[in-house]
Amino acid sequence: MEKLLLELEREILLKDLYEMDECPPLGHTPALMHAYVIRPENHGTPYQAFQQEVIKTPKLGFNEVLVKVMAAGVNYNGLWAGLGEPASPTAFHGKDFHIAGSDASGIVWEIGEGLKNNPEFKFKVGDEVIVHCGQTCGICQECNGGNPMLCESQKIWGYETPYGSFAQYTKVRAQQLLQKPKHLTWAEAGGYMLTYATVWRMLYGFAPNDLKPGTNVLVWGGSGGLGASAIQLIKLAGANAVAVTSSDERGEKCMELGAVGYINRKKFNCWGALPDIGNKEEYKEYLKEVRKFGSAIWDILGKKVNPDIVIDHIGSQTLPVSTYVVKSGGMVVFCGATSGFNMSFDASFVWMRQKRIQGSHFASLSELYHANQLILQKKFHPVISDVFTWDELPLAHQKMLDNSVEYGNIVINLAS
């Protein structure tokens, strides 16, 4: 009788909605949840686009997992989702709403029916996990022995799917879960995987131009989340990272992370679209400034030593310079275009010097596993600049849009 009364009391106390500073009993999934929702009619600045709403907690599919989000990373694709540029994310998944956020740490809260008796699924309710953003079908030839990032069903969770991490609960596929390193806080664990795994693939995924001891790498945005990860990985490999930053203060931070030198891009004027080669005077002045930038690289690496690899995610403002300064036979690898998607370069510098321009997109599950091993072994530590509260989520995105994040990744803390 006493046990029955306790169960009845528990059921009466359970609620359909919990506030951000409340935590329901493990195993109880509320019907409703708080979330930052982007709707097409609200596309614009972060303060305009990200609106707090109470919505239904997502229902799980056969092989899906519900995760209670404890911390969520802020990435540039959240800005694109809010701005609706280059397209509204609702166009990718067909829903009339979108919850952004492609990084998370959290607790396994509910498991889909197809996973409960699957011996290959290693997680259980209550486990602490991190969520990565790569979704693939898992059954095509690319997923099995090929290149999973070429899977026709490949999507980035939180950008091309309706439910991301900016909510109390999110649903993910089983393959998206990785072990949370026990020595990391929720905030540290919740903000590193997108940038870290992306740059891992950029450095190791494209042989024969992959990272090796002694490789010289130019890293644009060296103090940002992706750049900070790149510098640490390059140093761990016994290679040399030259960071490009927008201030000496940020450059000094890169030196602390292990860069062999930094360049303050504000001291040069060769950014943006390639000038018309037919305008000889304008092009001559441009090349003069680019060569000055190249000499700054030589001041760090040695005379006539150009980068073997250039890590670029800036896009239209930097790609012309990247293709100029990378060495003959070297590689410019880019994973985004934060300054614009229309890119230009002098083709003669690419084909005559046999340079490679390589696009890169997130990482395979194998690459994710190997990258995470370094963190579990405490050989790599995520760099977190700022941790914001739930109510400060639009502010966090505005700081990223304004390029006022000093270094590393920024995170939203949902943990109560």
CATH number at residue 322: 3.40.50.720
Q: Above 80 in pLDDT, residue 7? A: no
Rounded mean pLDDT, 161-181 = 96
Residue 2 confidence class, pLDDT cut points 50, 70, 90: low
Rounded mean pLDDT, 310-339 = 92
161 and 222 both lie in a single domain: no
Provide the mean pLDDT of the chain: 92
Q: Which amino acid is residue 409, in one-letter code?
A: N
Q: Is residue 3, in this structure, part of any structural domain at all?
A: no
288 and 368 both lie in a single domain: no
Residue pLDDT, tens place only, 109-153: 999 999 998 999 999 999 999 999 999 988 999 999 899 999 999
Residue 3 confidence class, pLDDT cut points 50, 70, 90: low
Rounded mean pLDDT, 148-168 = 95
Question: By mean pLDDT, which of 252-261, 285-294, 332-341, 345-354 is the weakest?
Answer: 332-341
Q: Above 90 in pLDDT, residue 268? A: yes
Residue 274 confidence class, pLDDT cut points 50, 70, 90: confident
Residue 39 confidence class, pLDDT cut points 50, 70, 90: very high
- Per-residue pLDDT at 142: 94
What total number of domains does the chain contain? 2
Residue 95 confidence class, pLDDT cut points 50, 70, 90: very high
Residue 5 confidence class, pLDDT cut points 50, 70, 90: very low
- Per-residue pLDDT at 228: 94
230 and 369 both lie in a single domain: no
369 and 354 both lie in a single domain: no
Among candidate residues 321, 363, 54, 324, the one with its CA nearest the CA of residue 205: 363
271 and 303 both lie in a single domain: yes
Residue 343 confidence class, pLDDT cut points 50, 70, 90: confident
18 and 146 both lie in a single domain: yes
Rounded mean pLDDT, 156-172 = 97
379 and 349 both lie in a single domain: no
Percent of the chain surpassing pLDDT 90: 81
Q: Is residue 200, in this structure, part of any structural domain at all?
A: no
- Per-residue pLDDT at 341: 81
Rounded mean pLDDT, 93-112 = 96
329 and 369 both lie in a single domain: no
pTM of the model: 0.90
Distance of CA 148 to the CA centre of its chain: 18
Residue 280 confidence class, pLDDT cut points 50, 70, 90: confident
Burial 260-292 (b: 16+ CB within 10 A, else e): bbbbbbeeeebbeebbeeeeeeeeeebbeebee
Q: Above 90 in pLDDT, residue 193? A: yes
Question: By mean pLDDT, which of 163-172, 186-195, 232-241, 335-344 is the weakest?
Answer: 335-344
The whole domain housing 391 covers 13-193+363-413
Among candidate residues 106, 179, 245, 195, the one with its CA nearest the CA of residue 409: 195
Q: Is residue 2, in this structure, part of any structural domain at all?
A: no
348 and 394 both lie in a single domain: no
Q: Is residue 199, in this structure, part of any structural domain at all?
A: no
- Per-residue pLDDT at 403: 84
- Per-residue pLDDT at 86: 87
Final residue before a domain boundary, out of 320, 343, 359: 359
380 and 351 both lie in a single domain: no
What is the C-alpha to C-alpha distance for residues 284 and 261, in angstroms, rounded to an integer? Answer: 28
116 and 212 both lie in a single domain: no
Q: Above 60 in pLDDT, residue 172? A: yes
Percent of the chain surpassing pLDDT 70: 97
Rounded mean pLDDT, 360-381 = 92
